[in-house]
């Protein structure tokens, strides 16, 4: 028989410690977020459909994005045991300068449409964390204002080469004068991909209001208050633009750009040059021969060519061919610290996150971006400890197996 007794207050008190209430609703929301997917759910609740879908969506059937994320899920880690991992070092040297962690914030367009703090939140959070921030040509905060938000950190500028070369190089010159250390030349956008969610939502700057838009926005008053009481949205890298977004994109994206143009751009830029949007081993080898400082394996987050190659699957072959001479970076599909660890183990020098950053931004502005960085950083450190490694240099291909779900059909 179990002997029972009345509980004594002095015995109960150590077992009943009440949590101090958190007065800030934003902090309560963010404290509950344990993963990037949690931040995504908060972002969806707080953001109108059109800007959320612009972040969430990809091209056509969105197969490229789904496959990229699936590739990270289809890995098997191989941990070593009985290693001293009481302290782990996440820092590295990327493009000749230090970073505190092996990831940075990718360039994103229309960013203040997602949440009014926009690039300032991203750049200041990156500065605090010691990681690079990349500003898009399609960004909604100026080159100079981003530099002011991250005055002593790593600022990278992403360039779309325009048909009007003088206007393109004027942006490059502004970024160089502002002290940006790296130019990201995006090469996978000869024309804009078919982003069907945006077409169905009538996505534009400024937003095109319809009855559906208004009804969708009613449960999200904070977004509209911020949108209506802050500086009107514009592409801050441009002095002005009087046409539609579609006309702007048609002007911006140049389908005639070649390797000769890239060589010319490289000669104009005083800092490091990274080519973003590489999707074949052959192009990686040509770029390495051209002498660029780095390449980013990327299919533009699945937003350009649907059914494009999976960057994470390309990684081992590209590193084998060019990794000794050229830094290989990676983006597309990264949603956890474990994804980043797997990328580094297979030879990537650096990774970039776009959607994960925007989910945090939409969930809580600057504090939400801090939360994204915290979740990813904690995930990297935890995965490294569980693998039995104490610094990034100890990560090796033997720590990871890429399991095959999609394999070429035998001819």
Q: For residue range 85-100, list pLDDT tens digits in order.
A: 999 999 999 999 999 9
Domain-located, residue 136:
yes
% of the chain surpassing 90 pLDDT:
69
Between 188 and 408, residue with greater pLDDT = 188
How much is the pLDDT for 207? 60
- The confidence band for 346, taking pLDDT boundaries of 50, 70 and 90, is very high
| pLDDT at position 68 over 70 | yes
- The confidence band for 361, taking pLDDT boundaries of 50, 70 and 90, is very high
CA 285 to CA 317: how far, in whole Å? 11
How much is the pLDDT for 311? 97
How much is the pLDDT for 244? 47
The total domain count for the chain is: 1
Which of 237-246, 309-318, 392-401 has the least mean pLDDT?
Answer: 237-246
Structure tokens belonging to residue 35:
């993963």
pLDDT 10s digits, 251-267: 677 788 889 989 999 99
Domain-located, residue 5:
no
Mean pLDDT of the chain: 90
Between 230 and 328, residue with greater pLDDT = 328
Domain-located, residue 407:
no
Nearest to 155 by CA among 165, 164, 143, 163: 143
Which of 126-135, 163-172, 275-284 has the least mean pLDDT?
Answer: 163-172
Range of the domain at 304: 25-392
Q: How many CB atoms lie within 10 A of CB 86?
A: 7
- The confidence band for 303, taking pLDDT boundaries of 50, 70 and 90, is very high
Average pLDDT over residues 34-63: 95
Distances (CA, A) of 104 to 100, 115, 203, 207: 10, 19, 27, 29
% of the chain surpassing 70 pLDDT:
93
How much is the pLDDT for 162? 78
Prior bond of 206 cis (ω within 30°): yes
Between 331 and 50, residue with greater pLDDT = 331
| pLDDT at position 242 over 70 | no
The residues facing 159 across adjacent strands are: 185
Domain-located, residue 19:
no
Q: Are 170 and 198 in contact (CB under 8 A)?
A: no
**Which residues are annotated as catalytic?**
300
Domain-located, residue 288:
yes
| pLDDT at position 9 over 80 | no
Domain-located, residue 7:
no
Which of 59-68, 237-246, 376-385 has the least mean pLDDT?
Answer: 237-246
Highest mean pLDDT among 216-220, 222-226, 318-322: 318-322
Domain-located, residue 410:
no
Give CA 151 to chain center in angstroms. 21
- The confidence band for 239, taking pLDDT boundaries of 50, 70 and 90, is low
Q: Provide the whole-model pTM.
A: 0.92
Domain-located, residue 129:
yes
| pLDDT at position 170 over 70 | yes
Q: Are 314 and 332 in contact (CB under 8 A)?
A: no
CATH number of domain containing 204: 3.20.20.70
Which of 105-109, 212-216, 238-242 has the least mean pLDDT?
Answer: 238-242
Query: Residues near 330 by Cβ (< 8 Å), separated by ≥ 6?
Result: 296, 297, 298, 311, 312, 315, 343, 348, 350, 351, 352
How much is the pLDDT for 386? 98
């Amino acid at each position: 028989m179990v002997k029972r007794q009345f509980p004594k207050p002095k015995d109960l008190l150590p077992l009943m410690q009440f949590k101090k209430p958190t007065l800030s609703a934003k902090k309560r929301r963010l404290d509950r977020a344990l993963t990037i997917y949690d931040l995504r759910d908060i972002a969806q609740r707080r953001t109108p459909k059109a800007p959320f879908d612009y972040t969430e969506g990809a091209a056509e059937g969105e197969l490229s994005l789904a496959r990229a994320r699936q590739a990270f899920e289809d890995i098997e880690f191989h941990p070593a045991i009985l290693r001293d991992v009481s302290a782990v070092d996440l820092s590295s040297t990327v493009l000749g300068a230090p970073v505190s962690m092996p990831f940075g914030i990718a360039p994103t367009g229309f960013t203040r449409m997602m949440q009014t703090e926009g690039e300032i939140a991203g750049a200041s959070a990156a500065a605090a964390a010691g990681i690079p921030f990349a500003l898009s040509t399609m960004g909604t905060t100026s080159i100079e204002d981003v530099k002011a938000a991250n005055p002593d950190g790593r600022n990278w500028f992403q360039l779309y080469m325009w048909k009007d070369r003088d206007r393109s190089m004027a942006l490059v010159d502004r970024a160089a004068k502002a002290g940006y250390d790296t130019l990201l030349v995006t090469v996978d956008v000869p024309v804009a991909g078919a982003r069907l969610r945006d077409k169905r939502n009538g996505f534009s700057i400024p937003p095109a209001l319809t009855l559906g838009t208004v009804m969708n926005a009613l449960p999200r008053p904070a977004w509209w208050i911020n949108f209506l009481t802050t500086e009107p949205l514009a592409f801050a890298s441009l002095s002005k633009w009087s046409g539609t977004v579609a006309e702007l994109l048609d002007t911006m994206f140049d389908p005639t750009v070649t390797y000769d143009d890239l060589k010319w751009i490289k000669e104009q830029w005083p800092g490091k040059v990274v080519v973003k949007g590489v999707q074949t081993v052959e192009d990686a080898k040509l770029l390495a021969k051209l002498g660029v400082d780095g390449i980013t394996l990327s299919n533009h987050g699945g937003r350009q060519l649907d059914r494009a190659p999976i960057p994470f699957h390309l990684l081992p072959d590209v590193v084998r061919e060019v990794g000794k001479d050229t830094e290989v970076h990676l983006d597309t599909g990264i949603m956890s610290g474990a994804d980043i660890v797997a990328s580094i183990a297979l030879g990537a020098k650096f990774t970039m996150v776009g959607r994960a950053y925007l989910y945090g931004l939409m969930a809580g502005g600057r504090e939400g971006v801090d939360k994204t960085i915290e979740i990813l950083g904690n995930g990297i450190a935890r995965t490294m400890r569980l693998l039995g490694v104490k610094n990034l240099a100890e990560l090796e291909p033997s720590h990871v197996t890429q399991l095959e779900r999609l394999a070429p059909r035998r001819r």
